A and B are shown apart, each in its own frame.
Chain A
Amino acid sequence: MRWFKKSILRNLFLELFIFLALAGGVFFYFYKKGVDTVSLKHVGLFLGVFTIYFLVIGSFYIVKPLRTILLQMQALLSGKPYKQIYTERIDEIGILAHFFNQVTAGLGEASYDIKDRERMLSELNVAAQLQKDILPPKNPVVEGLQIVAKNKPATEVGGDIFNFITVKDKTYIYIGDATGHGVAAGLIMTMVSTLVSVFSGFFESTYDILVNVNKYVKSCVKKAMFMTMVMLCWDKSTKKMTFVGAGHEHILVYHANSGECEAILSGGVAIGMVPDNSKAIKEQSLNAEDGDYIVLYSDGITEAKNSLGEMFGLERLKNLVVEYAPQYSAEGVNYHIAKSLVDFMQDHSQDDDMTLIVIKLDKNSSIVENPNAQATNW
C-alpha cells in the first residue's frame, strides 16, 4: 500500500482500479439478474458518477493541497507571513511540502543571523562613533608648536588613542596603543582617555597623571590587556618639553641643526601591566630646540607590511623624517610620511591601527597653511 502512496499517479490508478472493480461488480450483479441490455441513460449515469468521483478525488487529493503549498510559496516570495505545511503524505505533494518547510526553516535561521549581524554592526557603528568622538577631530593651536596628528583605525573600533589637553601654561600631548585592536582595545582606549582627561585637571605633572591612570586601569582590566603610552608636556612659559614613557614606541626627534633624527626609547612599563608603576616610569626632559621636530607614532606604522611581507620599520620612518623635515612644515612631514607608507603597503591590508603625530617646535607659531591639515582623520 505504501508503494501506491508514494506516487500520485499510482494512487490514481489504484482509485481507478477500485472504481472499475466496483462498477464491474454492479454489472455482474445485473447480468446475473437477467438484465442483458443497458440503456443510454444507465451509461450516462455511470459516466456521471465516474466523473464526479474523480473530480472529488482530484479536488481533495491534488488541487486543494497543491493550492495550499502554492499560496504559502507566493507569501514567501512576496515577503508576506507564511506558515509551515503539515502533512503525512509521502507522495510528490508531501515531498513538495517537506521541501518548502526545510527551505523556510533555513531562511528563518538565515534571516535571524542577518538581523543579529545587523544589530551587532549597528552597535559597532555606535561604538566606533563614540570612539571618534573621544579622539580630537581637529589638531590644536598651541603657542610655540605646530601639531599635526593623523589616525586611521584598522577596524570599526580601534585601539590607538591620542589627545591634546591644555591646562594653564602646560599642554599635554599623548599617544597610546592598546593591546590588539577591536572592541576590547577600544574599551581600554576609552577608559584611559577618560582617566587622562580627568587626572590632567587634578595633577600637575605628567608622572602623577600616568601613575594614577595605571592604578585605576590595572584594577579594572583583564591581565592580558594593557596600553603602551607616551605623554609629552609642553610648557609654553619655559619653552621646555618633557615626557613620560609607558612602554610605547620610540620618540623620534629631528634636530634641525645637525640634520639627524634621534630615536629615544620612551621607557617605562605599559599601562595596566603592573599594579604600581611609580618606580618604573619617570619624567625626563626632551632635548629639542626651536625648529626641531618630534614624531610620535603607533606600531601600526612601523609594523605595516607590504605584499612581500616586509615591514615598514623604524629605519625607514627615521629616513623619511630626515628627508622631509628640512623641506616642510609639520603638516607636510606628516603628509609625506603617510603617503610613503601608503605607497609602501600597496595593496596589502592594514593590520593594525595607525597614528602619526608630527610636532614642530616653532616659536613664531606659524599658522598651518592647509585647512585640511586641521582634521585628524587620515
Chain B
Amino acid sequence: MEPSLKIVLQPVESNQNYQVVKFIGSLDKAGYADVVDELNKTIEQFNLKFLIFDFADLKFINSEGIGYLMEVHAHLIQRDRKLVIISPNSHVDDVFKAIGIHEIVSVYADLSEFLNSNKL
C-alpha cells in the first residue's frame, strides 16, 4: 500500500546551519505512523541550528499532526535549536492560523524568505 506520507531529507552543505526536510502527503495519524521512525532518528541526530519542515507538498494536516509538530518544537527548544516551517499550502496554513501555530513556530512563505529574514 502506498504510504500516505513520505519525507525527503535535502542534502546539507558544509557552511549551512539548517536542514530541510520535505514532507509529501498527509500529516495525520496514518501519515505520522509512516514516517515516525525516520523522522525521530533525523531529529535525534540533528545538530544544526534550524530544522526546516518544507510543507510545499503537504496536502493535509490534522490535530494529531499539529500535536507532533509541537512535540518536535519543544524537543528542539530544549536543545537550543529551532523548528521552522516553510511553504504551507492554503489549507495547512488555515489550520495553522486557526490553532495558533504562528504564535509558537516561525512560518515562512518559502526558503528564500526564511534565509532573508534570518540573514543567512
Contact = CB atoms under 8 A, between A and B. Distances in A.
A177 B98 contact: no
A265 interface: yes
6 contacts: A223-B71, A226-B66, A228-B98, A247-B100, A268-B100, A270-B100
B103 A180 contact: no
A124 B62 CA distance: 25
A290 to B, nearest CB: 29
A177 B63 CA distance: 9
Interface in A162-179: 177-179
B98 A223 contact: no
A110 to B, nearest CB: 27
Contact of B99 (A178, A269, A303, A352): A269
A223 B70 CA distance: 7
A288 interface: no
Interface string B29-72: 10000000000000000000000000000000011101110110
Given A269-B104, A274-B103, A274-B104, A224 B98 contact: no
B21 interface: no
A299 B100 contact: no
Given A248-B98, A265-B98, A280-B103, A273 B70 contact: yes
Contact of B71 (A180, A224, A246): A224
Given A223-B71, A224-B71, A280-B103, A266 B98 contact: yes
B20 interface: no
A265 B99 CA distance: 10
B84 to A, nearest CB: 17
A211 to B, nearest CB: 14
B100 A303 contact: no
Interface string B15-29: 000000000000001
Given A179-B64, A180-B29, A180-B63, A223 B100 contact: no
Contact of B98 (A226, A247, A352): A247
Interface of B is mostly: helix
B74 interface: yes
A223 B99 CA distance: 15
B66 to A, nearest CB: 7
Interface in A272-301: 273-274, 280, 299
B103 A226 contact: no
Nearest to A227: B63
Q: Which residue among B68, B103, B104 has the maximum number of chain A CB atoms within 10 Å of its CB?
A: B103
Contacts of A225: 67
Nearest to A247: B99
A250 interface: yes
A329 B66 CA distance: 36
Nearest to B30: A351
Contacts of A180: 29, 63-64, 67
A226 B98 CA distance: 14
Contacts of B100: 246-247, 267-270, 273, 280
Interface string B75-108: 1000000000000000000000111100110000
A249 B68 CA distance: 19
Interface centre among B62, B63, B98, B104 (most CB of A within 10 A): B63
Contact of A224 (B29, B70, B99, B103): B70
Given A180-B29, A223-B70, A265 B97 contact: yes
Nearest to A279: B103
A269 B98 contact: no
Interface in A227-274: 228, 246-250, 265-270, 273-274
Given A269-B104, A280-B103, 16 more contacts: A179-B66, A180-B64, A223-B70, A223-B71, A226-B63, A226-B67, A226-B70, A228-B63, A228-B98, A228-B99, A247-B98, A268-B100, A273-B70, A280-B100, A299-B63, A303-B62
